[in-house]
Amino acid sequence: MIRYYGQDMVDSTSNRFYYYCRPYDGKCEHVHMPLRDLAAAWDATKAIDYLGNCDGDRLAMKQSLRDSVRSTLEYYLKSLDYTEHIGLTLKGDVILEPVNIGHSALLMLAACNALELNIMVEDDINN
């Protein structure tokens, strides 16, 4: 599963996760799906943690996943907005769908794991 996830589910040019992927015919696309994007970043942090210290092909997969997590989090962290009534949320004009608590929850889970795994540092998240 990690081999499939690491090699086929990451677009090497954008470092973003694919969501429409059929390896048997080679068709892959990154489709704008914020909840899946954030969930994939969180899942990837779990896979990175599972891989632990590794070498060879697994090290390359791990680095690809780290890059994808970082790219995904950077994209969504830049879209944070603070309003007095709601607090800190993602901007609807960036995620292009109604904002809900799932977006914020998955962003926090992925960001916390990224910090723990040294994929990002606090300054990356605070800026």
Taking each helix axis from N to C terminus, what angle separates 34-51 and 56-77, rounded to the nearest 10 degrees? Answer: 140
pTM of this prediction?
A: 0.78
Residue of 55, 44, 59 lying closest to 117 (CA atoms)? 44
Q: Which residue has 């996830």 as its token pair?
A: 5
- Check if the beta carbon of residue 34 is closer than 8 Å to that of residue 90: yes
Residue 4: pLDDT band by 50, 70, 90 thresholds? very low
Helix (H) or strand (E) holding 45: helix 34-51
Predicted confidence (pLDDT) at residue 77 exceeds the cutoff of 50: yes
| CA pair distance 2, 97, nearest whole angstrom | 30
| pLDDT tens per residue, range 13-28 | 667 776 665 656 666 6
Can you give 15-36 as a three-state secondary structure string?
CEECCEEECCCCEEECCCCHHH
